[in-house]
Amino acid sequence: MILVTGGAGFIGANFVLDWLAQSDEPVVNLDKLTYAGNLENLASLQGDARHVFVQGDIGDGALVALLLAQHRPRAVVNFAAESHVDRSIHGPEDFIQTNIVGTFRLLEAVRAHWGSLDEAGQAAFRFLHVSTDEVYGSLAPQEPAFTEQHRYEPNSPYSASKAASDHLVRAYHHTYGLPVLTTNCSNNYGPYHFPEKLIPLMIVNALAGKPLPVYGDGMQIRDWLYVKDHASAIRRVLAAGKLGEVYNVGGWNEKPNIEIVKTLCALLDELRPRADGKSYREQITYVKDRPGHDRRYAIDARKLERELGWKPAETFESGIRKTVQWYLANPEWVAHVQSGAYRDWVQKQYS
Ligand code: NAD
Ligand code: TYD
């Protein structure tokens, strides 16, 4: 079996669902269930003996040691993190605790467990660390996309904490020989995406008749990948990645934010037209920019394609349509995540 951390969050849950749709290899899922963790994402696995959920913190060394000893997974896939840049600006502390200290404690527990395995067990074991393109900083308009050789230049407390965790993972390979793999992926979108991030926030606000808050001039560029393509890339790296290596994951879909918002408006105009016959575009509102806002991210994913034969299955057009359709088909999920805590966040960030 494998141990997944953060598997009740957006990407982790999609990964677990896809993993169990494609194989019968069980998953132990360790998640703290912060505001971003949601067992409803995993509702379709209820009663499925292949999925064992454990609520807990990756920073709890004793708990992780117990889970490793009990279940003896052949791999750990680490999704657990605080993941929202705007929240890291309001309060970096949780990011330091989970992303840096938590990853360190997880690595320590995994190192001790790995050290206790026999030779064959050690050779087969993998620790896959899921990271982000944001560790590479911001690109100028004409600069080539980030390769794995790009220097680390994180600009937000979020990206700095992820960069620190990447360095720890690398060091555990070089110093202790821990069999690690790291993936650095571009912005994901798709089902179960918490509506604090750009794409789900815009869909949810549009349908609620609320303003669509575009930061600054809306010309910041992100490189978008459908979440299930990220899951397939992680499966591929886990199966065939070279130990100690880093793989960039992306779909060659660079888009300015305003174009994303207009695309979402056009899809909603088609699939769920406003009662007054006007376009959702009417709701677009330019608001104060994010402090230190990175201008452009772009991922060069050629290493993953060349060495491991991975390619995304979705185009941006097919993926974004599926995403909008998913939100339209799942109003209960949306209503449930918009709890009191969610409303407090929206008030703090957008008032
Ligand atoms: P998310 O915020 O939706 O989910 C994070 C999950 O981790 C939640 O279920 C939360 O409860 C859990 N968690 C948080 N702290 C924990 C702790 N201390 N112990 C155990 N569980 C904890 O995040 P996401 O968007 O699914 O991102 C998952 C990973 O992928 C993160 O490491 C993130 O940095 C990385 N990543 C995200 C994106 C993106 O576009 N969302 C892109 C590239 C990489
Ligand atoms: P986000 O989804 O928070 O991801 P990240 O900051 O990790 O890339 O934001 C994506 C882009 O959208 C980013 O440039 C900030 C911008 N954005 C807005 O313009 N308005 C919003 O309300 C949000 C949440 C983001």
Q: Is residue 339 part of a domain?
A: no
Q: Which two tokens stand for residue 253?
A: 């879909």
- Cα(208) to ligand 1 centroid in Å equals 26
- Cα(268) to ligand 1 centroid in Å equals 28
What is the SS3 string spanning 137-162? CCCCCCCCCECCCCCCCCCCHHHHHH
Q: Is residue 281 part of a domain?
A: no
Find, among 133, 129, 39, the residue nearest to 85 by Cα: 133
* Residue type at position 5: T
β-partners of residue 184 are: 131, 248
Pairing of strands 221-226, 212-215: unpaired
Pocket around ligand 2 at a 6 A CB cut-off:
85, 187, 197-198, 201, 213-215, 220, 222, 257, 290
Looking at residue 290, what is its pLDDT?
A: 98
Looking at residue 339, what is its pLDDT?
A: 86
Looking at residue 234, what is its pLDDT?
A: 99
Q: Is residue 348 part of a domain?
A: no
* Calpha distance 214→225 (Å, rounded): 20
Q: Is residue 185 part of a domain?
A: yes
* 332 catalytic per annotation: no
Q: Is residue 21 part of a domain?
A: yes
Tell which one of 86, 215, 284 to mutate to probe ligand 2, the residue whose CB is within 8 A of the most ligand atoms.
Answer: 215
Q: Is residue 280 part of a domain?
A: no
Cβ of residue 81 lying under 6 Å from some atom of ligand 1? yes
- Cα(80) to ligand 1 centroid in Å equals 5
Looking at residue 191, what is its pLDDT?
A: 98
- Quickly count: other Cβ atoms within 10 Å of residue 101's Cβ: 16
Contacts 24+ apart (CB under 8 A), 109-113: 109/61, 109/64, 109/65, 109/68, 110/64, 110/68, 110/76, 110/178, 111/172, 111/176, 111/178, 112/65, 113/65, 113/68, 113/69
β-partners of residue 185 are: 132, 249
- Cα→Cα distances 200→151, 194, 326, 345, Å: 31, 7, 10, 15
Please tell me which residue in 133, 166, 229, 254 is annotated as part of the active site: 133
* Calpha distance 256→259 (Å, rounded): 5
From first to last of its 351 residues, the chain has per-residue pLDDT tens of 999 999 999 999 999 999 999 999 999 999 999 999 999 999 999 999 999 999 999 999 999 999 999 999 999 999 999 999 999 999 999 999 999 999 999 999 999 999 999 999 999 999 999 999 999 999 999 999 999 999 999 999 999 999 999 999 999 999 999 999 999 999 999 999 999 999 999 999 999 999 999 999 999 999 999 999 999 999 999 999 999 999 999 999 999 999 999 999 999 999 999 999 999 999 999 999 999 999 999 999 999 999 999 999 999 999 999 999 999 999 999 999 998 888 889 999 998
What are the φ/ψ torsions at residue 16 (nearest 5 degrees)?
A: -60, -45
Tell which one of 3, 4, 11 to mutate to probe ligand 1, the residue whose CB is within 8 A of the most ligand atoms.
Answer: 11
Instruction: List the CATH number of the domain containing 175.
Output: 3.40.50.720
* 133 catalytic per annotation: yes
Q: Is residue 267 part of a domain?
A: no
CB 101 within 8 A of CB 161: no
- Cα(269) to ligand 2 centroid in Å equals 22
Q: Which bound ligand lies closest to the C-alpha atom of 195?
A: 2
pTM exceeds 0.95, yes or no? yes
- Calculate the dihedral angle through the C-alpha atoms of 66, 69, 73, 74, rounding to the nearest 10 degrees: 130
The residue range of the domain holding 165 is 2-192+226-252+293-313
Secondary structure class of 84 (helix, strand, coil): coil
Find, among 196, 226, 194, the residue nearest to 15 by Cα: 226
- Cα(142) to ligand 1 centroid in Å equals 31
Looking at residue 341, what is its pLDDT?
A: 87
Residue 7 CA: nearest ligand 1 atom is 9
Secondary structure class of 333 (helix, strand, coil): helix
Q: Is residue 216 part of a domain?
A: no
Number of structural domains, the chain?
1
* 134 catalytic per annotation: yes
